[in-house]
Structure 1
Amino acid sequence: MTIFENPRSLAQALARVGYIVTPELATTCVLAHRLGKPLLSEGAPGVGKTSLARALARASGGPLIRLQCHDGLEASQALYDWDFAKQILHVRTIEAASASAGERIDSLRLDDELHDRTFLLARPILRAIEDSQDLGPTDPRPVLLIDEVDRAGDEFDALLLEALADWSVTVPELGTISTETPPLVILTSNRTRDLHDALRRRCLYQWFDQPDAEAESRILALHVPDAEESIREAVVDAANRLRGADLLKPPGTAEAIDWLRALCVLGLDEFDEPSIAATLSAVLKDADDLAPARSILNVAGSDLNITGDGGQWRA
């Protein structure tokens, strides 16, 4: 039996590693695992899309393999590449040995040697496929996180679709490397561009909403258990007020966690004006948001007096 036996067992396993899921999301993750389909997760930054992949890997015991997408991402960075430096070293070794023995180098044989699996660098997608080979029914699968897929170009969608369609990668010099047991694939997107329809159809889909205040408070309690309940509730309330404003970078749950951690690290036991002003750097990510945020939270942003007291900080 694995944690993917049913949504309840998965939700309990994820809670043990500090990640809270809704019944809907737990069900979608179970289906992704049992149907062998990628899970496309979309939503605003900071709502737990990337953290889901990390939590699934921790809860299941499988390795987490991450592909961070960016503009100009090439196949050699996602699938495989050849270790050029290692190949050059091998050629020089062969040349030295041949010269010492007075023999000629067999170029065809050398070419075959240079394209041996030893010189192949498995990038995230190929690595996930290879790590999924020969797994038993209860063995943990690799979790392949393809993060911020919307940052890559349309060409990458086509490449990704081909690789995920039959869980294989073709290396011309070696042949096709495939697996019967697919890895658990989590794709995340912040919707900065539209993904190809064919890629969307290949995936299960989950939209990540900002959790409500009660759920967010539970999440913060898991991540910062030493924080007082009153401080935790104050952070949740303040974060929600900032989200309701017209900020360029409204805080997600990840920023709320950082905010609460910052307060605890400084030993601030009151959520007052000096404490808020001292820790705004943990929650705001754009200079243009400083003024409206200070206005919403009634923070002047000056005359702060943070001093050390017995190893703790007090405002």
Structure 2
Amino acid sequence: MTWFDSPADVATRLDASGYLTDPATATTTFLAGALEKPLLLEGPAGVGKTELAKAVSRATGAELVRLQCYEGLDEARALYEWNYKKQLLAIQAYGAQPQRGTATTVDGNHQPQPWNDLDHSIFTDEFLLTRPLLTAIRREAQTVLLIDEVDKTDIEVEGLLLEVLSDFQVTIPELGTVAATRRPFVVLTSNASRELSEALKRRCLYLHLDYPDAKREREILHKQVPGLDDRIAEQLVATVGRLRDLELKKAPSIAESVDWARTLIALEIRDLDEVAIAETLGAVLKHQSDHQRAVKELKLGRS
């Protein structure tokens, strides 16, 4: 079963799920499903990279499995680990049973029995704790695997991803090789805080997402915020564009534009003048230094 029939089908179905695409995004998303290749999305925070994976999940009815990356992430948190506490309890229970843990000789003495059967019994699915990567590989139903903010991980984790994303299989020494019966739709996101390895990039289709142009952002606002006045939407998008041109610690994301629009509706503001901007700037800027710069550069006259 294919994920999408064509780039046009991607655009239509993602639009129905609340995500607007441009031709490049629709085409690359289609190819990721058709070629069964991971899709690497790179760009500034808040431009819709994570939301694209969620939209594919909503549009196709596939379950979303998410691996949130962070510094210090290791194989046990990304792939699998054994439930050591449960295994220890099983070992204790095994040893407490004389008929299984020991053998009685003709002279009445007890001798330990081999533990080979125990080795096999505690390394089974019952004791396996699957993490996102292994969970996505083992699922038989359609699955979207989101590996979010991969640039925050250590370089060693990329080696693990290379193994998984090359053949979509994992070798567990105690159980053998687990191969995907149905490849998941894989989306990796990166804010480009560090350069990813060429080996990882070679295994992926690549798409750079940036802030949308004014027309596209107005379309997004109208879709996400029903009832938003055209005039307010135009003023808001123009102001957000000016803020993004400033050297801010954190430029406003699309999600923050949406939050600002909802704030204006809640306050029944029908004109985004200097006073309204100053009073509601907290919906779009989240650092005091950014507030101060915006007040100065936009000449708001108040903080």
**What TM-score do you get using the length of structure 1 for normalisation?**
0.87
Deviation of the 1:17 alpha carbon: 1.1
Deviation of the 1:285 alpha carbon: 2.4
Deviation readout 1:191-213 (Å, 9 max, x if unpaired): 11111101101100001121100
Matches within 5 A, 1:1-315: 4-96=4-96, 98=97, 104=102, 107-131=115-139, 133=140, 135=141, 141-301=142-302
Deviation readout 1:126-183 (Å, 9 max, x if unpaired): 111111x3x5xxxxx2111101101111111111011110000111000010114310
Aligned 8 A contact 2:3 2:33 in 1 = no
Where 1:65 maps in the other structure, the secondary structure is: strand
Aligned 8 A contact 1:3 1:9 in 2 = no
CA distance in 1, matches of 2:299, 2:64: 42
CA distance in 1, matches of 2:128, 2:283: 42
Deviation of the 1:215 alpha carbon: 0.2
Is the alpha carbon distance of 1:268 and 1:111 closer, same or farther for their aligned partners in structure 2, counting shifts above 3 Å?
Answer: farther
Aligned 8 A contact 1:3 1:13 in 2 = no
| Higher Cα radius of gyration | 2
Q: CA RMSD in A?
A: 1.9
Where 2:249 maps in the other structure, the secondary structure is: coil
Where 1:271 maps in the other structure, the secondary structure is: coil
* Amino acid in the other structure paired with 1:64: L
> Tell me, which stretches of 5 or more residues in structure 2 are unaligned?
103-112
Is the alpha carbon distance of 1:3 and 1:231 closer, same or farther for their aligned partners in structure 2, counting shifts above 3 Å?
Answer: farther
Deviation readout 1:48-90 (Å, 9 max, x if unpaired): 1111001110111001111111111101111111122332333
* Amino acid in the other structure paired with 1:190: N
Aligned 8 A contact 1:129 1:179 in 2 = yes
Deviation of the 1:95 alpha carbon: 4.3
Is the alpha carbon distance of 1:230 and 1:86 closer, same or farther for their aligned partners in structure 2, counting shifts above 3 Å?
Answer: farther
Decide which moves more: 267-276 or 231-240.
Answer: 267-276
Q: How many residues align?
A: 293
CA distance in 2, matches of 1:3, 1:12: 13
Where 2:70 maps in the other structure, the secondary structure is: coil
Is the alpha carbon distance of 1:229 and 1:75 closer, same or farther for their aligned partners in structure 2, counting shifts above 3 Å?
Answer: same
Where 1:81 maps in the other structure, the secondary structure is: strand
CA distance in 1, matches of 2:60, 2:302: 45
Is the alpha carbon distance of 1:85 and 1:228 closer, same or farther for their aligned partners in structure 2, counting shifts above 3 Å?
Answer: farther
Aligned 8 A contact 1:42 1:49 in 2 = yes
Aligned 8 A contact 1:248 1:286 in 2 = yes
* Amino acid in the other structure paired with 2:67: L
Is the alpha carbon distance of 1:90 and 1:245 closer, same or farther for their aligned partners in structure 2, counting shifts above 3 Å?
Answer: same
Deviation of the 1:235 alpha carbon: 1.3
Task: Identify the residue that residue 308 of structure 1 maps to in structure 2.
Answer: none
Is the alpha carbon distance of 1:110 and 1:276 closer, same or farther for their aligned partners in structure 2, counting shifts above 3 Å?
Answer: same
Deviation of the 1:2 alpha carbon: 5.7
Aligned 8 A contact 1:241 1:296 in 2 = no
Identity of counterpart residues, as a percentage?
Answer: 45
Decide which moves more: 240-249 or 256-265.
Answer: 256-265
CA distance in 1, matches of 2:86, 2:11: 45
CA distance in 1, matches of 2:210, 2:100: 71
CA distance in 1, matches of 2:200, 2:259: 34
Deviation of the 1:106 alpha carbon: 5.1
Deviation of the 1:110 alpha carbon: 1.9
